[in-house]
Amino acid sequence: MEYANEWNWVLLAYGVTYFALVVYASSIALRISRARKRLGGPS
Amino acid sequence: MTSTQHRTTVWPWIVMAVAGLHTFVASMTVSPDVVQGQLSRIMYVHVPAAWLAYLAFGVTMFASAMYLWKKDFRWDRRALASAEIGVLFTALAIGLGMIWAKPTWGVWWTWDARLTLTSIMFFVYLGYLALRRTTDNLDVRAARSAIFGVLAVVQVPLVHFSVIWWRTLHQPPTLLNPEGPAMDTAMVITLLIAVASFTVIYVAMMFKRIELARLEDEVLVADQTSSGPVAGQAVTAPGLTKGS
């Protein structure tokens, strides 16, 4: 069975997945950095 | 709690990147499904995301129970870290399922038992994270969220067995099928690789999220024990002198 623009849907799914993982990992790194600054330690 | 030693661990970031790349390469090089075509590749991220939601909420339940038993804040922080990561992967599982559903079912969403129960599970654990923000008292916060974390896990078997207990549009379990995986061997191996890689990403994320939870608790304790102005820099405590 053929579906229209199959690769577009695949790219959308992988784009959403990796974007979400990178954004979440970055948010953890940013919050760690902020907390360390609040505690007076190195960021 | 007031430890001043903060070591920066870099390896979780490297592990996350390598495991993510590993999943991508494995799922892009396997042959497409005869019926679904290239869309079958979405399964290699959708199924691991759903599996990690189960795992994360199971770990939250275990850590919550351990906190209630031991009263050790390290278990509370583990429960929090796992719940937050679980919410992320539940959202991903729902979102990726919708992206797959639109070209195959013709709709983004349907009120199917699996889909509905998964979204309820997502909101229940969002509630867990919201509950933790209702108080700054560490003991009260940990006790309340531990009870919630133990009770909320009932969602996981409900979601998993929903496709067996009810007549649903969603297909039955792929890997945990009682009659064995109903897939080509190469696809099963690729799916297992993706599940393993995502699990590694979860473990690496847990290390960093637990580190963050420990630092946030230290900031909270430092704020509560500091003797600064009553309500910020602009407001200071009134002087209570005799006769005023």
pLDDT (average), residues B48-76: 96
Provide CB contacts within 8 A for B16, sequence distance 6+. Answer: A21, A25, B201, B204, B205
Q: Say if residue B83's pLDDT is above 90.
A: yes
Min Cα separation B108/chain A (Å): 12
Distances (CA, A) of B13 to B3, B8, B77, B181, B231: 24, 11, 20, 33, 38
pLDDT above 70 coverage of chain B, percent = 87
Q: Report domain extents, chain B.
A: 41-174+183-222
A&B contacts, CB < 8 Å: 94
Residue A3's pLDDT band (boundaries 50, 70, 90)? low
Q: Is B31 helix (H, G, I), strand (E, B) or coil?
A: coil
H/E stretch holding A22: helix A6-38
* Burial class, B238, CB count within 10 angstroms (exposed 0-12 / middle 13-18 / buried 19+): exposed
Dihedral sign, Cα of residue B167, residue B169, residue B174, residue B179: positive
Q: Contacts of residue A29 in chain B, CB cutoff 8 Å?
A: 13, 208
pLDDT of residue B3: 47
Provide CB contacts within 8 A for A15, sequence distance 6+. Answer: none
Start-to-end C-alpha separation, chain A: 54
Min Cα separation B71/chain A (Å): 24
Residue B218's pLDDT band (boundaries 50, 70, 90)? very high
Determine contact, residues B226/A38, Cβ cutoff 8 Å: no
Q: Say if residue B5's pLDDT is above 70.
A: no
Distance of alpha carbon B176 from alpha carbon B72, whole angstroms: 35
Residue B238's pLDDT band (boundaries 50, 70, 90)? low
Q: Contacts of residue A31 in chain B, CB cutoff 8 Å?
A: 212, 216
Name the residue with higher pLDDT: B166 or B217.
Answer: B217
CB contact under 8 A, B37 and A13: no
Q: Say if residue B186's pLDDT is above 90.
A: no
Determine contact, residues B6/A39, Cβ cutoff 8 Å: yes
Residue B28's pLDDT band (boundaries 50, 70, 90)? confident
Per the document, the length of chain A is 43
Determine contact, residues B28/B103, Cβ cutoff 8 Å: no
Q: How many CA atoms lie within 13 A of B112 on its CB side?
A: 22
Distance of alpha carbon B90 from alpha carbon B50, whole angstroms: 6
Q: What is this structure's pTM? A: 0.86
Residue B244's pLDDT band (boundaries 50, 70, 90)? very low
pLDDT of residue B2: 44
pLDDT of residue B170: 83
Q: Say if residue B50's pLDDT is above 70.
A: yes
Determine contact, residues B55/B201, Cβ cutoff 8 Å: no
Chain B positions contacting chain A at CB under 8 Å are 4, 6, 8, 13, 16, 20, 24, 35-39, 41-42, 45-46, 49, 85, 88, 91-92, 95-96, 99-100, 102-104, 201, 205, 208-209, 211-212, 215-216, 218-219, 222
Name the residue with higher pLDDT: A26 or B8.
Answer: A26
pLDDT (average), residues B127-131: 96
Selection from B17, B16, B41 nearest residue B190 by Cα = B41
Mean pLDDT of all residues belonging to chain B: 86
Residue B63's pLDDT band (boundaries 50, 70, 90)? very high
| Closest Cα in chain A to B93 | A17
